[in-house]
Each structure stands twice: as structure tokens, then as C-alpha cells.
């Protein structure tokens, strides 16, 4: 059964399902349009990016690569989460080429790739409280209505 069809660049650049996102190696977040051309996810994340302009309340999704996320230590002293940023407690660490992939207790569906040097310098370990940020230029927004049938 076909999960998504279309030009390869579109399918891999902005997958419409968790399965296609896993194959493309990107994070996929569903939500709805919010003021300021943002996507508001049920998890509380608010993401802005490039691509489709989402009307308030319109179903859509955001996609970004795990390697595009920036990490800073001590979420307790970081600014409060806002657009394209969140705090989290490391729950799972997986070895990947050149570093480690992190998953947090608060947002277990989001993968964050961290170079090994950064992980060592920040003392990243399970239970570490971290702040995360992804640049708007690295986030793709799409309307759900544009998905292939």
C-alpha cells in the first residue's frame, strides 16, 4: 500500500506520515495554524518556518532534521520556551555516526542529533535538563490539504 506518492524531493523533503518521515530521517509534527504564520502542536510546541502559510486553525505539519536542532545545557537558566524552542529532560540516548541521538521525556517523538564533542562538553546524560532550538530556516511548514490522496 502506498503511504505517500509524489516527486521524490517533496516526499523526502516534507513527508506526510511518520513512516515516510522515518525513512527520510526527519521529525514530523502535526498541528494547526496559529497567529504569526506558526504551527501549534498539541504538545505545546510552536513552530515557524518556510513553505505554506497556515491560516489560524488550519491543519498542517512541520518537518525538520534532527541535526538542525541546537542544544544548550541547563534548561533551568535558559529563556522560557517560545517559537521553535523547547526544554526537555533526556530520557533516551542512541549512538549515531559522529554522536548521539537524544529523545526527551517531554517530547519523545522528537529526535535531536548531538555531535559527540558537544555531548561530552555539555555533560549530556539521561536525566539532563536541556534547552533546544531550531532555526525557522530549517523548518518546513505544509497544509494538510495539500497532501496527496
Its pTM stands at 0.87
Are 39 and 84 a contacting pair, CB within 8 Å?
no
The answer to whether residue 1 scores a pLDDT higher than 80 is no
Hey, which bits of 35-84 come out as E strands? 38-41, 46-48, 50-51, 59-64, 69-73
DSSP 8-class letter at 124: -
The pLDDT tens digits of the residues spanning 67-116 come to 999 999 876 777 778 899 999 999 999 999 999 999 999 999 999 999 99
Of 94 and 23, the structure prediction assigns the larger pLDDT to: 94
Collapsing DSSP to helix, strand or coil, 94 comes out as strand
Closest residue by Cα to residue 61 from 113, 15, 7, 6 = 15
The answer to whether residue 149 scores a pLDDT higher than 90 is no
Q: What was the pLDDT predicted at 78?
A: 72
Collapsing DSSP to helix, strand or coil, 4 comes out as coil
**Burial class (CB within 10 angstroms; exposed 0-12, middle 13-18, buried 19+) of 64:** buried
The pLDDT tens digits of the residues spanning 34-72 come to 998 899 999 899 999 999 999 999 999 999 999 999 999
Q: Which residues pair with 51 in a beta bridge?
A: 141
Tell whether the torsion through CA atoms of 104, 48, 66 and 27 is positive or negative. positive
Of 19 and 47, the structure prediction assigns the larger pLDDT to: 47
In whole angstroms, give the CA distance from residue 93 to residue 29: 20
The answer to whether residue 120 scores a pLDDT higher than 60 is yes
Summarize the confidence of residues 127-149 as an average pLDDT: 84
Instruction: Kindly list the distances between the CA atom of residue 142 and the CA atoms of 36, 45, 64, 90, 118, in Å, as whole numbers in the listed order.
Output: 15, 16, 12, 29, 32
In whole angstroms, give the CA distance from residue 44 to residue 75: 17
The answer to whether residue 21 scores a pLDDT higher than 50 is yes
Amino acid at each position: 500500500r502506498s503511504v505517500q506518492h509524489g516527486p521524490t524531493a517533496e516526499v523526502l523533503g516534507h513527508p506526510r506520515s511518520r513512516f515516510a518521515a522515518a525513512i527520510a530521517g526527519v521529525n514530523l509534527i502535526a498541528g494547526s495554524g496559529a497567529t504569526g504564520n506558526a504551527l501549534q502542536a498539541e504538545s505545546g510546541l510552536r513552530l515557524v518556518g518556510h513553505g505554506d502559510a497556515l491560516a489560524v486553525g488550519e491543519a498542517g505539519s512541520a518537518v525538520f532534521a534532527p541535526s538542525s536542532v541546537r542544544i544548550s545545557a541547563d534548561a533551568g537558566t535558559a529563556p522560557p520556551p517560545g517559537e521553535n524552542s523547547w526544554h526537555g529532560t533526556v530520557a533516551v540516548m542512541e549512538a549515531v555516526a559522529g554522536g548521539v541521538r537524544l529523545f526527551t521525556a517531554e517530547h519523545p517523538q522528537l529526535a535531536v542529533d548531538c555531535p559527540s564533542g558537544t555531548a561530552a562538553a555539555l555533560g549530556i546524560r539521561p536525566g539532563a535538563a536541556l534547552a533546544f532550538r531550531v532555526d525557522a530556516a530549517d523548518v518546513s511548514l505544509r497544509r494538510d490539504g495539500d497532501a496527496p490522496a
